[in-house]
Amino acid sequence: MTNLAIIGAEKSGRTSLAANLGKKGTSSDITMYNNDKESRKMVFVDPHGYPKAIKPLITALNISDMAILCIPPDGLDRDNPASVHTGECIVALDLLGFKHGIIALTKSDSTHMHAIDELKKKIKLMTAGISLQDWECISLNTNKGAKNPFEGMEDLKARINGISEKIEAEQAELNNLPARVFIDHAFNVTGKGCVVLGVVKQGISKDKDKTKIFPLDRDIEIRSIQSHDVDIDSAPTGTRVGMRLKNVQAKDIERGFIISDKEIVSTDYILECTISKFTRAIETSGVLHLFVGLQSEPVRVEKILVDGQEVKEVKPGSTCVMELSGNKKVAYSREDRFLLANLDLPQRFAGYGFPKLP
């Protein structure tokens, strides 16, 4: 199964594209569009709470294997206020090291071929040397009233299927790892108890598994598993799941909680960080927002080390070791990538880091 985040600035065409690719399902600040009619089942995620907040964007990306970045004809124009959010999406994808994706040149019916060629040149310059540099650009429209409605959609679907084959091979390799499920929704169902929705990020999660939920660090049992409303005995890596859980209530669960046998749980962090070139210097005593998996919390910068020496600030484009303190328990593994953000800036993403090994 492939999970795809369809992202972009407001009015970039992302929602109409998602609705064209799947049937609307669960909706909060992110909306799921399910396509289970084909032999290859897919879930398309529209972070419609973005750009007002960046959490929906990060949630969509961290439960997905592939991203479709929607850029309309004026999406990179400096006189278009929304262009900062197109740029912010590009920065987020790069900081996350996002491997698989497509750039959808949306609303192609509202412009001409020369303008599309110029937009492709801009994109090539902007993405040179970053994780998006080899992503294919596909022109399309999802306007039913266009002269050629849905032009480019078949090309897009063919490319999605081609990338999905690679993703499925990668997922198969992750099946040998201990199971981890990222939870994005939780609620109580009368007669069934606590139900969570999420995605299996690695390993194989099985019906009747006795495991734990973090950061609660509580023993639980998986009572049953569904995928696309069908009961299943086991869910391999990449599966979008609904699970009934024993020994926990929905009110105790927040987005980002992890079903796993073992996680690190902490309120303080030491990260080996790379600071984005597209942010401001970060100072000690400053406040950042930390994201890992689907969890987030504000943290204070307690100490910055550059080449082993303590400094008062770190400049954009630099690497450092950063000590951060927070108040909320967060669960993670040593391999998880943390994102740092400064919510007071127009382009909010500040850098990424990994837990520093002792």
What CATH number does the domain containing 50 carry? Answer: 3.40.50.300
What distance in Å separates the CA atoms of residue 200 and residue 130, rounded to the nearest whole number? Answer: 27
Are 53 and 114 in the same domain?
yes
With H, G, I as helix, E, B as strand and everything else as coil, classify residue 14: helix
| 354 has pLDDT over 80 | yes
pLDDT digits 0-9 by tens, 70-106: 999 999 999 999 999 999 999 999 999 999 999 999 9
Are 227 and 329 in the same domain?
no
| 271 has pLDDT over 90 | yes
Are 170 and 196 in the same domain?
no
Per-residue CA distances from 319 to 45, 101, 136, 150 (Å) = 32, 27, 30, 45
Tokens 């696309």 sit on residue = 228
Domain endpoint, select from 244, 260, 276: 260
Note whether 235 and 276 are within 8 A (CB). no
At residue 357, the pLDDT reads: 76
At residue 307, the pLDDT reads: 95
Reported as a pLDDT band with limits 50, 70 and 90, residue 21 is: very high
Query: Rounded to the nearest 5 degrees, what angle is found at the Cα of 61, between the Cα atoms of 58 and 67?
Result: 140
Query: Which helix or strand (DSSP H or E) is residue 111 part of?
Result: none
Are 189 and 130 in the same domain?
no
Question: pTM for this one?
Answer: 0.95
What distance in Å separates the CA atoms of residue 327 and residue 300, rounded to the nearest whole number? Answer: 10
Mean pLDDT of 46-54: 97
Are 62 and 127 in the same domain?
yes
At residue 111, the pLDDT reads: 85
Residue among 148, 213, 228 at smallest CA distance from 180 = 213
Q: How many CB atoms are located within 10 Å of the residue 21 CB?
A: 22
Tokens 């306007």 sit on residue = 143
What CATH number does the domain containing 306 carry? Answer: 2.40.30.10
Mean pLDDT of 128-155: 89
With H, G, I as helix, E, B as strand and everything else as coil, classify residue 107: coil
* Tokens representing residue 96 in the block: 């996350």
Beta strands 240-246; 218-227: pairing state: antiparallel
pLDDT digits 0-9 by tens, 287-331: 999 999 999 999 999 999 999 999 999 999 999 999 999 999 999
Q: How many CB atoms are located within 10 Å of the residue 209 CB?
A: 18
pLDDT digits 0-9 by tens, 336-348: 999 999 999 999 9
What distance in Å separates the CA atoms of residue 219 and residue 261, rounded to the nearest whole number? Answer: 9
Per-residue CA distances from 211 to 27, 202, 243, 297 (Å) = 28, 15, 13, 25
* Tokens representing residue 40 in the block: 């290859």
Tokens 């929704």 sit on residue = 185
| 358 has pLDDT over 80 | no
At residue 230, the pLDDT reads: 93
Query: Which helix or strand (DSSP H or E) is residue 137 part of?
Result: strand 136-139
pLDDT digits 0-9 by tens, 205-264: 999 999 999 999 999 999 999 998 899 999 999 999 999 999 999 999 999 999 999 999
At residue 149, the pLDDT reads: 77
Domain endpoint, select from 260, 290, 316: 260
Are 166 and 303 in the same domain?
no
| 109 has pLDDT over 90 | no
Note whether 225 and 242 are within 8 A (CB). yes
Domain endpoint, select from 200, 232, 260: 260
Paired residues of 300 in beta bridges: 287, 325
Q: What percent of the chain has pLDDT over 70?
A: 100
| 144 has pLDDT over 80 | no
Give the total number of structural domains in the chain. 3
Paired residues of 214 in beta bridges: 258
pLDDT digits 0-9 by tens, 160-202: 999 999 999 999 999 999 999 999 999 999 888 999 999 999 9
Q: Which domain holds residue 166?
A: 2-174
Tokens 């979008």 sit on residue = 240
Per-residue CA distances from 138 to 31, 48, 116, 156, 159 (Å) = 23, 22, 10, 7, 9
Note whether 151 and 113 are within 8 A (CB). no
pLDDT digits 0-9 by tens, 191-211: 889 999 999 999 999 999 999
